[in-house]
Structure formats: structure tokens, C-alpha cells
Structure 1
Amino acid sequence: MPIVRIEDGVQRHAVQKHAVIETVYACLREVFGVSDEELQARYHCFAPHDWRSPGDREHYLHVQITVFAGRTLATKRRLYQQVSERLAALLKIPADAVLVLLDEHPAQNWGMRGGVAACDIDFGYEVEV
């Protein structure tokens, strides 16, 4: 059930924003093994006066991913690496300009599909990977 929020200080074309979202999705599929069924994303571009990156960097992309808790540190490290490297290549920015923030919550804290606790839903993939 990943919810992806991308924040960017650069005004990008719709095609490029879509490519960023799809790149993050591909990484989530490959590393976390999630299905497409519950993936959702929001892409926010900020005007220069509404944005300040660490150290006032020219290139900086904030990727927040909210997921069920349970992945191992090794799995999270693979996700951070893949997201950073692939977005850097796609956008032609330094890999260290990409921040990936993983926001984890127990499945029992998600109410979805008409008020069902997520811990009672079979999503077809394992969380403890």
C-alpha cells in the first residue's frame, strides 16, 4: 500500500513528472515486491519562494514513501539505493540530491477498502522481506 509523495523545487513537464513516479514505482515493485493495485502518488512542484533545499542546492528531490511496517534494514537500503540512482540518472542530477524518507505504519493502523483494517487484507505480497 505504498503512498508516494514527491516534492521538487524544479518545475518539470508532465511527462518528466510521470517518469519520476514510474521510476519510484518500479523500485517499489522490484525491491518491496508490491503490486500495482494499491500504488498511489502525488507530485508537488514548488515555486522558488515556497521552497528551500538543504544548503540551497540547485538540485534536490524529496521522495516520501508511506508503507506498512515490516521490511528489513537490508531491504530498505536496497530501495534507497535504487530510487536515488535511478532518479539521478533520469533527471541528470547527483544521486545525493535525492532524499528518500520511508514512513512506516503497522497494517492495523490503516483502514481501507470500505473500512477494513489492512492487517485483515491479503495484498498478495509479503511485507517482511
Structure 2
Amino acid sequence: MPLLHISMRAGKPEAYRQAILDSLYRAMREALNVPEGDEFMTISELSPANFRCGNAYGVSRSEDAVLIQITVFASRTPEQKKALYRRIAALLGESPGIRPEDVFVNVLDAPKENWSVGHGIAQFA
């Protein structure tokens, strides 16, 4: 039950943004065994004045950098997360062609009781 928020500079065509969503969904299916149809993702496009991504930690980022925040059940192992990071970078490199240096991923663990996916009930608690 991942929940994804993607932030990027405005101006990319719809096909580019859809390729990001498709690649992220595929990476989650492959690395985290996310069920088919489990797609809860948003993209926020920001003006250059509202998007800043530095070159800290020895990584030279370009204006094509994307910031990806993924909230998941607090049951994912470090190995699963590492596999997810690798798969995301590889798939975004294939489509839409984002350099690995421009892929910034943050995974947040949330206990299962913190989720309600509809009807006002805690389905996983």
C-alpha cells in the first residue's frame, strides 16, 4: 500500500510524467511485490522559484531532478528498500530517461494502523 508523492520542475510533457508514474509502479511491483492496481501517486510540478535541489553528498543533480517520497507499511526490510532504490533508478533511466543522479528517493515507514484506504475504517489495523 505505498503512497507516492513526486515533486519536479514544471514543463515536462504529459507522456514524460506518465512514464515516471508507470516506471515507479513497475519498480514497486517488482521490488516490493505491490499488488496489481495498488497505484496511489501524485506529481507536483513546481516553478523553478519553488523547486531547489542541491548537489550535496557528492551527487551532481540537474534541472531534471525528481524528488520521490514513498510512504509504506513499516514492514519493509532494508534489503527490499535497497532493491527498490536500484530498480527505480534503472527504470526511470529507461523511461522517461532520467539520469540516476537526478533520482532522489525517501521512504517513510508508517504503522499499518495509520492507514485508512476508504470508508473511514482502518483496513490493516
The TM-score with structure 1 as length reference comes to 0.83
- Does residue 49 of the first structure (1) align with residue 54 of the second (2)? no
Equivalent residue, structure 1, for 2:105: 100
1:89: Cα distance to partner?
2.9
For residues 99 and 115 of structure 1, the distance between their equivalents in structure 2, rounded to whole angstroms, comes to: 33
Partner of 2:26: 26
Give every structure 1 segment of 4 or more consecutive aligned residues whose post-TM-superposition deviation is greater than 4 Å: none
Deviation at 1:39, TM superposition (A): 1.6
Is residue 84 of structure 2 the alignment partner of residue 61 of structure 1? no
Deviation at residue 10 of structure 1 after TM alignment: 4.7
TM-score by length of 2: 0.85
Query: What's the C-alpha RMSD, in Å, of the aligned pairs?
Result: 1.7
Question: Which AA in structure 1 matches 2:65?
Answer: Y
- Give the aligned partner of residue 85 of structure 2: 80
Unaligned stretches of 5+ in structure 1? 121-129
The residue identity in structure 2 corresponding to 1:53 is C
Give, in angstroms, the shift of residue 49 of structure 1. 1.4
Q: Return the alpha-carbon distance in structure 1 between the equivalents of residues 114 and 10 of structure 2.
A: 34
Moved more, 56-65 or 97-106: 56-65
Aligned residue for 2:36, secondary structure, equals coil
2:95 to 85, 90, 93: 90
Runs of 5+ unmatched residues, structure 2: 56-60
Q: For residues 4-23 of structure 1, what are the structure 2 equivalents within 5 Å?
A: 4-23=4-23
Identity %: 26
Is residue 19–residue 96 contact of structure 2 (8 Å, CA) maintained in 1?
no
Deviation at 1:59, TM superposition (A): 2.8
State the shift of 1:94 in Å.
2.3
The count of residues paired between Structure 1 and Structure 2 equals 120
Distance in 1, Cα, partners of 2:72 & 2:24: 13
1:124 match: none
